[in-house]
Amino acid sequence: MPLAAIGQICSTSSMSHNLTQCISLVEKASSAGAKVLFLPEASDYIASNASSTISLCQPVISSPFVLGLQSAARTHKLPINVGVHEPAIGGKKVQNTLLWIDEDGQITQRYQKLHLFDVDIKDGPILKESNSVEKGTRMEDPFATAIGKVGLLICFDLRFPEPSLVLRHRGAQIITYPSAFTVPTGKAHWETLLRARAIETQSYVIAAAQCGFHNEEKTRRSYGHSVIIDPWGKIVAELGGEEDEHGRGLDVGEIAVAEIDLELCEKVRREVPLLRRTDVYPELA
C-alpha cells in the first residue's frame, strides 16, 4: 500500500527560511518511501498583518518558494501538496491557494480557499482573513494520484460539511485540510471536526498543520497536531503541537507517514452504506 506523508512547519515572513524547512521535509518523505508529501496552508509565509500579507505575495510562476519546491519535487520524484499565496486580480488582496506539484515539478491542480476565517476571540487572537484574502468561487473535482482520488479543501473549510460531501459525491477517496488553526479553536475542535469529516465521507482525511509562534512578537500562533485519519475515523498518523520549554512548536520540521488502504475505504463504504434521502433533501452536486 502506498505511503502518504504529512509535514509540520512553522512559517514566518521569510520565504527562504520556509523553503528550507519544506525542502528538508521533502527529503525526509522521500527517504521514508512516501508517494506524496502534504504540507500546510500558507507554507510560503505567514505575515504579521494584512498589509504584509499582500506585499510579500508573488505570482506562482516567479515565486522562489514555489520554484524551489518544484525543483525538489523533480529531484526526488515526489508529488507535493502545498498551500501558498497568489496575487488576486487587481492586486488589493491575495488568494489562499492549494497547489498540487507532480513528480515532474509541474503544477497540475490548484484550489482557492472557499471559506475565510474572520474571528475575534476573547482573550485570544483577532483574525480577519477577509481583510487581505479573496475568497474562492468554485469547487474543484477530485483527481487521480498514486495514493487515490484526492479532493482539495483548506483549513476553515473544515467547519462546513457540504464541501467534503460534494467531493465524496464526485468520487474522492482522500480529502485534504492543510491548516494554520489557532490554539484555542484547535484545542476545542480540530480532532473532532477532522474525524467527523472522515466518518461522514468514509474517506481518508489528511491535514498537515502549521505549529508554534510565527513571529517574534508572538501575536500569531498555530496549533499543530498534523494528522492522517482513515475512513473509519481512526487516527493513523499524528504529530505533536503546543510548544516545548523554549517556545518552539513540537514536531516542527518532522513528518509522519501512514499507509493509504483504498480497500479499507471501499470496505467501509460497502459495509456501512450511506443511502441519502434525496427525495426529502437535495443531493449535493
Instruction: Tell me the per-residue pLDDT of 134-178, one tens digit each, with 9 for 90 and over.
Output: 999 999 999 999 999 999 999 999 999 999 999 999 999 999 999
**What pLDDT sits at residue 249?**
66
pLDDT at 13 over 70: yes
Instruction: Tell me the per-residue pLDDT of 73-124, one tens digit each, with 9 for 90 and over.
Output: 999 999 999 999 999 988 899 999 999 999 999 999 999 999 998 877 677 6
The average pLDDT across 220-244 equals 93
Is residue 247 within 8 Å of 262, Cβ to Cβ?
Answer: no
Quickly state the pLDDT bin for 211 (edges 50, 70, 90): very high
155 flagged as catalytic:
yes
27 flagged as catalytic:
no
Give me the catalytic one of 57, 155, 211, 265: 155
Give me the catalytic one of 10, 22, 35, 41: 41
User: Residue 101's closest CA among 58, 57, 145?
Assistant: 145
Write out the H or E segment, with its range, that includes residue 133.
strand 133-134
CA gap 106, 150 in Å, rounded: 17
CA gap 176, 134 in Å, rounded: 20
92 flagged as catalytic:
no
Given CA atoms 86, 73, 253, 174 in this order, what sign does their dihedral have? positive
Write out the H or E segment, with its range, that includes residue 237.
strand 235-238
**What pLDDT sits at residue 124?**
65
Amino acid type, 213: F
Instruction: Tell me the per-residue pLDDT of 32-86, one tens digit each, with 9 for 90 and over.
Output: 999 999 999 999 999 988 888 999 999 999 999 999 999 999 999 999 999 999 9
**What pLDDT sits at residue 49?**
84
Q: Domains of the chain, with CATH numbers?
A: 3-270 (3.60.110.10)
**What pLDDT sits at residue 232?**
98
Instruction: Tell me the per-residue pLDDT of 177-186, one tens digit each, with 9 for 90 and over.
Output: 999 999 989 9
Residues in the chain, overall count: 285
Portion of the chain with pLDDT greater than 70, in percent: 96
Q: Which of 90-99, 212-221, 232-241 has the lowest mean pLDDT?
A: 212-221
Cell numbers given for 68 = 524551489
The average pLDDT across 255-266 equals 98
Q: Is 56 strand, coil or helix? A: coil
Is residue 249 within 8 Å of 10, Cβ to Cβ?
Answer: yes
Give me the catalytic one of 22, 57, 93, 113: 113
pLDDT at 220 over 70: yes
**What pLDDT sits at residue 72?**
98
The average pLDDT across 215-226 equals 90
Within 56-213, where are the H helices? 64-76, 161-169, 183-185, 191-201
